[in-house]
Amino acid sequence: MFQLTQAQIDQFNEDGFLIVEKLISDEAVETLRACYDRLFRGEFETGVTPDEVNWQEGTGDPSLTRQICNGWKADRDIADIVLREDFAKAIAELGNWPGTRIMIDNVIWKPPGTRSLGHHQDSAYLDWFNPSDLLSCWIGMDDTSAEGGTIEFVRGSHKWNHSPPEGEFHGPEEYRKYMERAAAREGVKPEIVYVEVPKGGGSFHHGWTWHGSGHNKATYPRRSLVLHAMRSDTEYVPDHLADGTGPIYSRYKRLADNIIDENFFPVLWRNDGYRTPGIETYLKR
Ligand X SMILES: O=C(O)CCC(=O)C(=O)O
Q: Which residues bind ligand X (CB under 6 A)?
A: 106, 108, 117, 122, 136, 138, 151, 211, 213, 224, 226
Report the run of H or E that residue 180 belongs to, with start and end: helix 177-186
Q: 101 or 270: whose CB is closer to ligand X?
A: 101
In whole angstroms, the minimum distance from the beta carbon of 226 to ligand X comes to 4
If you write DSSP's letter for every residue of 3-69 in order, what string do you get? ---HHHHHHHHHHSEEEES-SS-HHHHHHHHHHHHHHHTT--TTSPPPSEE---TTTS-TTSPEEEE
In whole angstroms, the minimum distance from the beta carbon of 104 to ligand X comes to 10
Cα 57 to Cα 11: distance, rounded to the nearest angstrom: 40
In whole angstroms, the minimum distance from the beta carbon of 278 to ligand X comes to 27
Q: Taking CB positions, which residue lies at the least distance from ligand X?
A: 213
In whole angstroms, the minimum distance from the beta carbon of 251 to ligand X comes to 21
Report CA Rg, the chain. 18
The C-alpha torsion from 19 through 2 and 79 to 121, rounded to 10°, is -30
Q: 52 or 262: whose CB is closer to ligand X?
A: 52
